[in-house]
């Protein structure tokens, strides 16, 4: 089989021929139909991701495909079942093995591309907004980096949960994508006085921040009393420093969310969230935005789209 393989940190991964993998105890093997790319794949290449699987490794964290074989002691899902699966690596290949308990059967109405594209971005958004921030209908939700994969998912989920969504992104084209995804209001992230602009819109109850830097600080200062700020990522490169006096005076909360961590300490919370989202995708409530679909031999091009921020929504590789 073919696989997009990283052999050394800091070096470019390359397409490689490998033997067909055999599923171990508790695992299933998938014939992979789609694999979505993530910013974490870039961090893994650089050796900067919080999880560091041993090298060499096959990149790709979230996939969808058809069960091809069961490992020892595995009762299901049965061969032929369409499933979504997630892990730290292994998806950019024609076949791969995953723990059976990380595989979710796909309902009718959920295609392979959407099933690969929703898991991390939408799973992060739903777990953050519903489980951590307790977002309520009618609250004002600010999403930074709102045209990227993780941000765009939060726009859709916030709208689905009944919030008033403010989308922040750079440039009119990206803001239009966020508006089409459900944002009620949009604001350019290059606005000279972002804090004043947010206050003019009525302030913010919940901030879903994927960028960090000055945008986080502006959102902090534009937060309403008892506001919650979700630290999701730092795509802008600057990790915010939070002045605790502002938290005290305005009764604010800053909340971290690392989606993958729930598989270690509370896997059922994560699984329930994904099952909810699959139901929303199947009934048409959510439609993951996929900006690029590429074959496996163009996976490097897909990663460059992420690196250069040319992608909106998700980039999906089709082995």
User: Residue 10, Cβ neighbours under 10 Å: how many?
Assistant: 8
Percentage helix, strand, coil, to 5, in the chain?
35, 30, 35
Query: Among 111-115, 141-145, 215-219, 264-268, which stretch is predicted with the lowest mean pLDDT?
Result: 264-268
Does 264 score more than 90 pLDDT?
no
- Alpha helices (H) in 161-235, listed in sequence order: 172-180, 194-200, 213-221
* Residues of the chain above pLDDT 70, percent: 100
Helix (H, G, I), strand (E, B) or coil at 249: helix
pLDDT band at residue 220, thresholds of 50, 70 and 90?
A: very high
Check residue 88 and give its pLDDT: 87
- Minimum mean pLDDT among 11-20, 28-37, 44-53, 214-223: which range? 44-53
Q: What is the pLDDT of residues 32-63, one digit of tens each?
A: 999 999 988 999 999 988 788 899 999 999 99
Confidence of residue 12 (pLDDT cuts 50, 70, 90): very high
Helix (H) or strand (E) holding 318: strand 314-318
pLDDT for 109-167, tens place per residue? 899 999 999 999 999 999 999 999 999 999 999 999 999 888 999 999 999 999 999 99
pLDDT averaged over the chain? 94
Residue 109: per-residue pLDDT: 85
Q: What is the pLDDT of residues 239-260, one digit of tens each?
A: 989 999 999 999 999 999 999 8
In the chain, which ranges are continuous DSSP H helix?
A: 39-46, 112-126, 149-160, 172-180, 194-200, 213-221, 244-250, 262-265, 267-282, 299-307
| pLDDT surpassing 90 at residue 310 | no
> Would you state the pLDDT for residue 168?
97
Instruction: Choose among 201, 214, 231: nearest CA to 183.
Output: 201
Q: Would you say 60 and 92 are in contact if contact means Cβ atoms under 8 Å apart?
A: yes
Residues 6+ apart with CB under 8 A from 202: 140
Q: Is the confidence at residue 311, as pLDDT, over 90?
A: no
pLDDT score at 207: 98
Cα–Cα distance for residue pair 66/45, rounded to 1 Å:
28
**pTM check: above 0.85:** yes
Residue 237 confidence (pLDDT) above 80: no
In whole angstroms, what is the distance from residue 154 CA to residue 128 CA? 9
Q: Alpha-carbon distance 103 to 83, whole Å?
A: 6
Mean pLDDT calculated for residue range 160-189: 96
Q: Tens digits of per-residue pLDDT, 67-89?
A: 999 999 999 899 999 999 988 89
pLDDT in the model for residue 170: 93
What mean pLDDT comes out for the span 169-187? 95
**pLDDT of 269 above 80:** yes
pLDDT confidence band for 309 (50 / 70 / 90): confident
> Which pLDDT value is given to residue 285?
86
Burial of 31 (0-12, 13-18, 19+ CB in 10 A): middle
């Amino acid at each position: 089989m073919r696989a997009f393989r990283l052999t050394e940190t800091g070096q470019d991964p390359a397409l490689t021929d490998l033997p067909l993998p055999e599923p171990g105890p508790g695992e299933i093997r998938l014939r992979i139909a789609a694999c979505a790319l993530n910013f974490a794949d870039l961090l893994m290449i650089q050796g900067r991701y919080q999880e560091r699987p041993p090298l060499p490794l096959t990149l790709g964290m979230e996939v969808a495909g058809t069960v091809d074989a069961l490992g020892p002691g595995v009762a299901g899902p049965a061969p032929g079942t369409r499933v979504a699966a997630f892990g730290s690596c292994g998806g950019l290949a024609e076949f791969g093995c995953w723990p059976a308990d990380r595989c979710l059967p796909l309902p009718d109405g959920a295609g392979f591309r959407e099933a690969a594209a929703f898991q991390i971005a939408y799973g992060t958004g739903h777990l953050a907004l519903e489980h951590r921030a307790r977002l309520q209908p009618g609250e004002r939700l600010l999403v930074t980096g709102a045209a990227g994969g993780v941000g765009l998912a939060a726009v859709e989920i916030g709208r689905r949960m009944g919030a008033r969504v403010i989308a922040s992104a750079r440039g009119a084209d990206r803001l239009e994508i966020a508006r089409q995804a459900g944002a009620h209001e949009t604001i350019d992230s290059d606005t000279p006085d972002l804090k004043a602009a947010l206050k003019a819109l009525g302030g913010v109850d919940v901030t879903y921040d994927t960028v960090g830097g000055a945008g986080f600080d502006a959102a902090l200062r534009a937060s309403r009393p008892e506001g919650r700020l979700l630290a999701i990522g730092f795509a802008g490169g600057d990790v915010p420093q939070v002045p605790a006096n502002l938290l005290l005076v305005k009764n604010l909360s800053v909340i971290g969310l690392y989606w993958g961590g729930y598989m270690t300490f509370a896997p059922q919370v994560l699984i329930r969230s994904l099952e909810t989202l699959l139901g929303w995708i199947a009934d048409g409530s959510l439609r993951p935005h996929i900006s690029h679909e590429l074959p496996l031999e163009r996976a490097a091009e897909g990663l460059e789209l992420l690196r250069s921020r040319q992608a909106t929504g998700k980039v999906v590789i089709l082995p």
